[in-house]
Structure 1
C-alpha cells in the first residue's frame, strides 16, 4: 500500500489547514476525538484519507486509527499521520499532548493540489468540517489558506521576529485568509458586532463564541481580482487602522508573483531548465520561469576552426584515446546509481548529468581538489566521447587535457575546458552546460 506523497506531485500550491485546540485530558480519549473523526468522515469525501500511519501503515478504519495512536504514544505525546493512495495527495497529522504538558490537540491538513478546491461543493464540505470542529473544540485562531500565498504574506511571523511571534501568537488580525476561525478573545479584541458585520462570503457565530469567516466561495481562485478585493474588504473592516488601497496593492502584488508564466526557454536547454524549475518551491516557480525565460546562455567558446587545430603532441595517439575512454568510464562509475542513463552516453545523458550536477551543487558540495583532479577529467572525457559516438567526432589528443580536441566537421571542440568552466559555480553549470556544447557542435558539424 503505497501512499501518495504531496512531494510526488509536480510543484503546485496546496490547501493547508492549521487547527490548534485543547481537549479534556480527564475524559476518555475516544470520546474526545469522536467529533473530529465524525466530521472528517462525513465531509472529507474525495480527499478522505485511506491510510493511517502509526509505527506502520494500515488501511484507514476506526480500529486502525486507535491502534496507530496507541503505537505512537511516547510518554506525554502521541500523534499519527493520515494519507491517501490516490489523487489528490493528502498529508495530514494529528498530535496530542498529555499531562503534565498543557492539553493540546493539533490538526494539520495539506491537500495538493489547491486546484482540487475549485468546485464550490468541495469547498462547502471543507468549511462544514472545520465548522463542526470549531463548534466543539475551542480555538484561539484557525485558518485554511493557499500555502504559497501565506509564505508570501510572511506567515506566521507577519513581520515580527521569532521571539515576538512565539510569545504573542496570533493576538490580532495580521491576515485574513480564505477560511478563518477567530476565537472569543480575538472576537472581543475586534468587537463582536464589528466582526459579525464583516463583508464576506460567510460569517457565522458559533455556539462557543468563536466566529467562522470565509472570504470567498472557493479556495482555488483566491488570487483572482474579485477574491482579492473581498479579502481586502474583510481585512480593512476588521482592522480599520489599515488602508484599504494599500491592502489591495499588497494582495495584487502577491497574486502577480503567483500568476502562471508560460515557459519560453532556450530550445537547446528546455529539457534541462524544465527540471531546474521543478526544483523550485511552488511559490517561487513562476518567478523562476520568468527568470529563465529572460536568461540566455553564452554561446560556447570552447572551440577553434579545424584548420587551427593543435596537432597531437603525444607519443601514442591510440593509447591517449583509450585513456580518454577510461576517464569517461570513471564518470559512469561515479554517477550510474543516481543517473542511470550515463551508461548509454547519449545527448540525453548529458542533460541528465547537467541536472544532477546542478541539483547537487557539485562545485560547492565537493572538495575543490577532488573536482579538479577527478571530476573535471572524467566529465570532459565523457563529453568528448558523446561527441565522438553521436557526431562522428575524432579525438586529437594533447598532453594537456585542456588542450585535447574533438574534431567535428570544420571545428574542433575542447571538452575538458568546457568541463572545467562548468565546475566553477552552480550558475556556471547552466552557463557552460555539457548539453549546450553538444547541441552547438551538432549544428556546426556541416
Structure 2
C-alpha cells in the first residue's frame, strides 16, 4: 500500500492505490506477515500508509453483522473462547467483541460485548480496564477472562475473501470464450440444462449452468444478465460471466454443498434441528430483502434454487431467469414444468409477478425447510392445488413446527398481495426468532 505523502504527489495528480494480498504456495516462498501493521512512511498519520486493519489483524472482521458473526463463530471446529472483533452496528466508532461460549442450559452460543472508545482515543469494555489500542485489549483478555464469559482463546478463522469477479477484465466485459471454461464434474441435470463444477482458465473453481438450445433467447438473456451482474450481496450467488452463444453458459460462484433441496433430503441437512433451519431461512430472507430494495423480482423462489456452502451458508440462485424461459410447458404457467405449488395464485392465474408473489413462494420454502424437502401440498396435483388455494385452502402446520412459524407462513399466503409481509420484516423476524418469539422452544422428535 502506498500513500500520497510517501511519493510526494501533488494534489492535482490522480493517485491510484493498490492493495495486494500475497498467499505463498509453499513454505520456501516468502510471505507477508499479516499479523503486523506496516507503516511505509513516518510522515503518515495512522490512517495512511497502513495495511487495512482487516488484513493486518487476524481477529478483526470489519463490517460484519451480529448474525453473520454468530454463524462464523458457531461453525464446526471452533472451540469455546473463539472470538472476533467487528464494527458496531449501532454505535459509530465503537466495536463489538463476539465470543463463542458454552453452558449446560444453552449449549454452544455467542456472547457479544460492546467495546467503547474513550475521548482520549483508547478503548474499554468496562471502565475498570482501559487500553490504548485494540491489540492491547485483546492481549489482556487473552490472558484472563476478567469479567467476560471466558478468556479469548483463538481468533475465528476468516476463510478466503469472497470473489466478486473472475478478474479485472471480466468486471465490465464479462462475455468470455467458451474454451476458457473446463467442465469437470456434472452436479445436476434439470428441465432446461445441466449444472457443472468447472474451472475458468484452469485455476479458478466456478459453477457453470449450461442451458439447452432454445430455452431462452440469447439477446433477452444478455439484457437480463446485465442487471443480474450488478446485484451484489453476500446472500446471492454471484454471477461472474456468460457465454451468450447457444448453448448458453452461465458462470457463477461455486457452492460446494449443492442445492438446499438435495441438502435437506439426502445430505447433512437431514440431521439439522430447528435453530439451524430458521437461520437458513433468515439468510434467504436477507438475500430477498436486498432484491426487494433493488426493486427486482426472483419469480422462482424455492429450495431447488437456493445453494448451500460451508458452515450452512445459503445463497439465492437463478434470480430473474424464469421470465426468460420460452418452453411452452413452462410459459403456459399451468403446464407440467411450471412450479405451481410454489407460485402465488395471482402469478399462476394472471401472470402478475411481483415481490409479493416472491413472499408467497418464501412461505412455501419455509415448509420445505421444516419438512426436510417434502414436496408442498402432498397428495395433490397442480390442478388441485390451484383450485383449492383459490377457495382459501392453506397448508396445515407441519409436524413439530412451532405455531409462531406456521403463523408466519400463513401471513406469506394472504390472498391480497399487499397484506403479505415485506422481506425486510421476514428477515428481522427470523433473525430474532429464538429471542423474540420462542423463548420456551423445546425441540421435537424431528426438529
Q: Normalising TM by the smaller chain, what interval? A: under 0.3
Structure whose residues are more often helix by fraction: 1
Greater RCO (Cα-Cα under 8 Å, separation 6 or more):
1
TM-score (norm 1): 0.27
